A and B are shown apart, each in its own frame.
Chain A
Amino acid sequence: MDVSGAAEAVAVPTKKPYSFTPGKLAMWLFLASDAMGFMGFLGVYMVLRVAAPLRVENLTGEQIAGGFRKIGDPAFGIPLTALMTFVLICSSVTMVKSLAAVQRGDVKRMKMWLGATILGGLFFLSCQVYEWSHLIHLGLSPATNYGATFFFLTGFHGLHVTCGVIYLSCIFRRAMQNAYTQENHSPLELVGLFWHFVDLVWIVLFTVIYLMPEPVLRASQ
């Protein structure tokens, strides 16, 4: 009886590796509320962006020459932001591989993939700092409605990435103390949920902010 019971206990995680925990429910509730916040900001951004061409007329020739009519145009900033998107997707893969490694009992690879995830997050943040400094240097100001929503939306996401890197670093520190095993790795799964959410939100932001064309300018062409 004891032997069959033990076998059943081992078999359960294989059939259903992502079991329900109160921590997971709490994380999902947090992510759901966070998603509503992002949707609200995204809605404001889109409405103001539709109106943005009306405000472009107020920009100086130098600012327009600097590319401000082209924000949202593929010609503006796509290579850098595409690289940022790719790195964030890669960091999602390393995160999920870290979880898969600990579920196999491979703690060494779990640490390695977790460290790679943190590096991916730091690279993303570095690129965002560079992008912001570039745009501010060109004259894009958060004092305008369009600039404010652009900086707020990307900044709000950047704040999430920053929090994610700090969260990951705390988990990494615990991992280095061998706190997580094949049987006990719930915190790793939770930080993974948060990190994938950050990736998911960026996928939407990248498309809406950088790839979708400006509505009125293109429509009038």
Chain B
Amino acid sequence: MSNEDHSALYMKIFGWLTVWTVAEIIIAMPQVGVPRGIMIAGLAVMATIKASMVGLFYMHLKYEGKLIWAVILSPLFLAAVICIGFWPDAVGYYARP
């Protein structure tokens, strides 16, 4: 892949990031009336897609080797552990009368 191709790709990714951001704002507007569960799930999915785009293309993870990927995936695993650890607290608040 040549550098010229990369420049075009960067602008394409920029366009998609803008589109996803606008889509996020639209579905989060109360006037649109998206059900709460779908809204939260949709926002989480779109944020993940946007973050992945930045990581893969702007941070060039798409072109990196296994070592860098191992460095990235380790904290993601630990982040999942943190989320699981916080889960009982969040559920506890919901369970309060």
Contacts and interface: CB of A to CB of B under 8 A. Distances in A.
Interface of A: 14, 16-18, 20, 24-25, 28-29, 32-33, 35-36, 39-40, 43-44, 46-47, 50-51, 54, 73-75, 78, 82, 85-86, 89-90, 92-93, 95-97, 100, 103-104, 192-193, 196-197, 199-200, 203-204, 206-208, 211-213, 215-216, 218-219
Contacts of B83: 39, 43
A104 B3 contact: yes
Contact of B93 (A47, A104, A207): A47
A33 B14 CA distance: 27
Interface in B55-95: 55, 58-60, 63-65, 67-68, 71-72, 74-76, 78-79, 82-83, 85-86, 89-90, 93-94
Contact of A207 (B43, B54, B55): B43
B78 A50 contact: no
Interface of B: 2-3, 6-7, 10-11, 14, 17-18, 21, 24-25, 28-30, 36, 39-40, 43-44, 46-47, 50-51, 54-55, 58-60, 63-65, 67-68, 71-72, 74-76, 78-79, 82-83, 85-86, 89-90, 93-94, 96
Nearest to B89: A47
A199 B53 CA distance: 11
Given A18-B63, A82-B25, A203-B54, A25 B39 contact: no
Nearest to A51: B93
Given A17-B63, A50-B90, A100 B7 contact: yes
Given A43-B86, A193-B59, A14 B2 contact: yes
Contacts of A40: 82
The majority secondary structure among interface residues of chain A is helix
A211 B90 CA distance: 19
Given A100-B10, A207-B46, A213 B39 contact: yes
Best-buried of A43, A75, A193 by chain B (most CB within 10 Å): A43
